Amino acid sequence: MATAASFALNPRAATVGDFFALLKPRVMSLVIFTALAGIIVAPGGIDPVVAFTALLCIAVGAGASGALNMAYDSDIDGLMSRTATRPIPMGKIARGDALGFGWTLSAGAVTIMGLFVNLAAAALLAFSIVFYVGIYTLWLKRRTAQNIVIGGLAGALPPAIGWAAVTGSLSLAPLVLVLITFLWTPPHFWALALYRSDDYARAGVPMMPVVKGKASTRKQILGYALVLFPVGLLPGAIGLAGPLYVSAAALFGAWFVWEAVAVWRETDVAHEPAARRLFGVSILYLFVLFAALIVERLMGIAPLGHATFGAWM
Amino acid sequence: MNDDDDQNARNDRARRMRNVALALVLGALVVLFFVMTIVRLKGHVFDWQ
């Protein structure tokens, strides 16, 4: 049977599945979903084949960012139990191969987006890849506790890229969707960091619980959750979403805040059950909000007017 | 079969599957470029007539 050691001695044994794992498929699925929402709620029509191509480019661009992140972070990934089984620290894929794989896919995704969809979407896709790899991975991640706050912008952009693929421009509405994901990112990752803080400390990654302590992190999680609640309702206020979305955002936003309060009051610091629950609820929250946007539009119960406030690009 | 043979067989199979995957991706790209070209032509050339 193949072991980690045998792979470490022979990276030529890399399987297709190992390369697929470099793309961070679980992260990619959420990116595809939020980008799809951006495409569907954007005003105007788009040829289904062009929409599919845009979604494919966004998915490949996100996956390529993941591969580059794993390549540049392979040293610290090997030190953390959550990431030690990734293909590069396991020795299944050479770091240089992952870099070539990631940059090739990035260039391909941006080029095809520019050629077949439009330049605005391609520029936004290129920006999100460069921001995630250059600003977050190479610069902020190892230097500041605000790493995932600022770096979260890259992961928040897919709805705007999807919107730009349809309209060729940006406006207030897609930026509200970006803002929701941007504010969602810190409590989501800090919940994870609370119960993985030993991992991050061992790897020397300055996540908030490691640098400022768990008590400060709990307060900040609650703060972000309280800000996220009204921001999550904004699509209803600007005419982007209807009652189904607003009801879902209110219900799941309240649940998010409830779990954030539980994290704030947590006493079991060894196991952090509330943080584990919040991590799961945060994923559900984002999924439900964007699903509600999509369902409203597909069922024809979304508001007819769009508060796009003019094109900005 | 010793460990080296076992490893070589695994390498060969992995390389074969990587090549198949690469061929499928390249084939899909050819199809994508063809279909997208037709779609873009439809919007900019065919509608002239």
Domain that holds residue A202: 16-299
Partner A contacted by B14 (CB < 8 A): yes
| pTM for this prediction | 0.90
pLDDT of residue A312: 45
How many residue contacts between A and B have a Cβ separation below 8 Å? 37
Range A31-35, long-range pairs (CB < 8 A, 24+ positions):
A31/A58, A31/A59, A31/A62, A31/A155, A31/A158, A32/A58, A32/A59, A32/A62, A32/A158, A33/A287, A33/A290, A33/A291, A34/A158, A34/A159, A34/A162, A34/A177, A34/A181, A34/A286, A34/A290, A35/A59, A35/A158, A35/A159, A35/A161, A35/A162
Burial class of A290 by CB neighbour count within 10 A (0 to 12, 13 to 18, 19+)? buried
pLDDT of residue A306: 52
Q: What is the pLDDT of residues A257-300, one digit of tens each?
A: 999 999 999 988 888 999 999 999 999 999 999 999 999 998 88
Given a cut of 90, whether residue A10 has pLDDT beyond it is no
B2 versus A287: which is more confidently predicted?
Answer: A287
Residue A182: inside a domain: yes
Q: Taking CA atoms, what residue in A is nearest to B14?
A: A15
Q: What is the pLDDT of residues A299-308, one digit of tens each?
A: 888 775 554 4
Measured in degrees and rounded to the nearest 5, phi and psi for residue A246 equal: -60, -40
Q: What is the pLDDT of residues B9-49, one digit of tens each?
A: 888 999 999 999 999 999 999 999 999 999 988 766 666 55
Residue A312: inside a domain: no
Residue A122: inside a domain: yes
pLDDT of residue B41: 86
pLDDT of residue B1: 59
- With tokens 């940006």, the residue in question is A170
Above pLDDT 90, what percent of chain A?
85
Residue A141: inside a domain: yes
Q: How sure is the predictor about A5, in pLDDT bands with cuts at 50, 70 and 90?
A: very low
Residue A193: inside a domain: yes
Given a cut of 70, whether residue A4 has pLDDT beyond it is no
Of B10, B11, B36, the CB nearest to A53: B36
Q: Indicate which CATH number applies to the domain containing A232.
A: 1.10.600
Give contacts of B40 with chain A, Cβ < 8 Å.
Answer: 116
* DSSP tag of A11: G
Cβ atoms of residues B14 and A12 within 8 Å = yes
Widest CA span in chain A: 61
Give contacts of A50 with chain B, Cβ < 8 Å.
Answer: 36, 39
Q: What is the pLDDT of residues A58-105, one digit of tens each?
A: 999 999 999 999 999 999 999 999 899 999 999 999 999 999 999 999
- What is the nearest CA distance from A83 to chain B, expressed in angstroms? 23
pLDDT of residue A302: 76
Given a cut of 60, whether residue A8 has pLDDT beyond it is no
Partner A contacted by B28 (CB < 8 A): no
Partner A contacted by B9 (CB < 8 A): no
Q: Taking CA atoms, what residue in B is nearest to A105?
A: B25
Query: What interhelical angle do A48-72 and B3-44 show, nearest 10?
Result: 140
pLDDT of residue A221: 97
Residue A129: inside a domain: yes
- Domain count across chain A: 1
Question: How many CB atoms sit inside 10 A of residue A292's CB?
Answer: 23
Question: In angstroms, rounded to a whole number, what is the distance separating the alpha carbons of residues A240 and B2?
Answer: 65
Question: In angstroms, rounded to a whole number, what is the distance separating the alpha carbons of residues A20 and A14?
Answer: 11
Residue A89: inside a domain: yes
Report CB contact under 8 Å: B7, A116.
no
Q: Quick one: tokens of A264? A: 């704030």
Partner A contacted by B16 (CB < 8 A): no
pLDDT of residue B27: 97
Q: Where are the domains of chain B?
A: 3-48
Partner A contacted by B35 (CB < 8 A): yes
pLDDT of residue B4: 79
Question: In angstroms, rounded to a whole number, what is the distance separating the alpha carbons of residues B18 and A20?
Answer: 11
Q: How sure is the predictor about A36, in pLDDT bands with cuts at 50, 70 and 90?
A: very high
**Complex ipTM over 0.90:** no
Q: What is the pLDDT of residues A166-181, one digit of tens each?
A: 999 999 999 999 999 9
Q: What is the pLDDT of residues A212-266, one digit of tens each?
A: 999 999 999 999 999 999 999 999 999 999 999 999 999 999 999 999 999 999 9
Q: Taking CA atoms, what residue in A is nearest to B25?
A: A105
Q: How sure is the predictor about A7, in pLDDT bands with cuts at 50, 70 and 90?
A: very low
